[in-house]
Amino acid sequence: MTTRRRIGCVIGLAGFSAAVWLWAARPDETSWQPIIRPAAIIATEPVPHDGDSADDPAIWLCAEDPSRSMIIGTDKHGGLISYDLSGKQLQIVSGNSWPDNVDVIYDFPLGGRKVDLAVAGTRAKQELGIKVWTIDAKTRQMADVTAGGAIPTFGHTEPYGTGVYHSLKTGKFYCFVNNKKGEQEQYELIDGGNGKVGGVKVRSFKLPSITEGCVADDETGFVYIAEESVGIWKYPAEPDGGSEGKLIARTGEHGLKGDVEGLTLYCAAGGKGYLIASSQGNSQFKVYRRDGNHEFICTIIPRKGDGPNAIDAVDDTDGVAVTNRPAGPNFPNGFLVVQDGHNDKGNQNFKVYRWEDIAGKDLLIDTQWDPRAQKALAPAVVDPPQAK
Ligand code: CA
Ligand code: CA
Ligand code: CA
Ligand code: CA
């Protein structure tokens, strides 16, 4: 990365949007770096519970009508909540399950048909483990289909972060789950009969300290796990992937400040795109290359909007999700959705940003890559030799 020595050199403005790239240094950062300051376009309704309750969002894309896509968010003291693309709450399901992290799976084979699923780690005593819900594309209703009510994790003890993986090698679907001791388990999700989804443990390994944020790249076959005070680890995602990981981003570098929280992937064709990490310690998001050696690219610091009804900025940020796909008139180039630890207008909620307001002229905008039609990538793209 070129070192710039002057603050405020604007290098990209996306139309009327709020995308301003500026090169600036901040006191907690060791080098000059590009900073993006987008303003939210919408905010979801606040979650029903106060205190630290909203945690992690996921995005469900409606194949037939993208404007009917949904944001699915967790309420750590309640249930799983869906919102439409204006932020209006649609449904609360499993209201006492205490979900923490949520992800979406497309086209899971269940009872002879293909269904979309939401998958979350849940921490209520009576539902400790992994829970699974179907998402009905017509009604946009989610329904609990977990065999036995919950797939038990860590010997019937509390899970923390979760992330799903669809193997393009074998066609199998998995859920990674971790806990506050840094223990990791991988479950194959299976058709459990009678319309229910079950889970079979296929792997376990351990990181030294507390982990949560987790995202898998189906096309490259790797899973990224955030060790909250340390950085971001990369592991092979297949069940025979072993217990040896690679630390690809460290706290203290490029202003990544613990806790490292949610992780998400902006995917584009040919293995391109970005790994985006929530840097809770300074309420920022760090953007790394999805491919290559995951070089650091830039920082996103959401700002307060303009005008009397301005949406507030993001603080103590937690979970994050992004899509490259068009999703209704507000989001022709996809969007980024983030948890906001302090919502000016009530309980915690989720803030949503146009991707083009983040990308400006410097990041990719690829609306064609399709999460329902992923392609396994060649080893050269997946794991190039480490740069010196
Ligand atoms: Ca998520
Ligand atoms: Ca955490
Ligand atoms: Ca805020
Ligand atoms: Ca979290």
| Residues 167 and 238 sit within 8 Å (Cβ to Cβ) | yes
Instruction: Count CB-CB contacts under 10 A for residue 387.
Output: 7
| Residues 68 and 140 sit within 8 Å (Cβ to Cβ) | yes
**Ligand whose nearest atom lies closest to the CA of 283:** 3
| Cα of 279 from ligand 3 centre, angstroms | 15
Q: At residue 352, does pLDDT exceed 50?
A: yes
**Ligand whose nearest atom lies closest to the CA of 263:** 1
| Alpha-carbon 165 to chain mean position | 13
| Cα of 61 from ligand 1 centre, angstroms | 14
**Ligand whose nearest atom lies closest to the CA of 229:** 2
Which pair of structure tokens corresponds to residue 375? 């392609």
| Cα of 76 from ligand 4 centre, angstroms | 9
| Cα of 387 from ligand 2 centre, angstroms | 31
Condensed to tens digits (0 to 9), the pLDDT of residues 119-153 reads: 999 999 999 999 999 999 999 999 999 999 999 99
**Ligand whose nearest atom lies closest to the CA of 346:** 3
Q: Which residues pair with 351 in a beta bridge?
A: 43, 338
| Cα of 106 from ligand 2 centre, angstroms | 26
**Ligand whose nearest atom lies closest to the CA of 260:** 2
| Cα of 147 from ligand 3 centre, angstroms | 38
Q: At residue 24, does pLDDT exceed 90?
A: no
What pTM was estimated for this model as a whole?
0.92
For ligand 2, a single-atom ion, which residues have Cβ within 5 Å? 212
Give residue 13's pLDDT.
Answer: 35
Give residue 380's pLDDT.
Answer: 72
Instruction: Count CB-CB contacts under 10 A for residue 156.
Output: 9
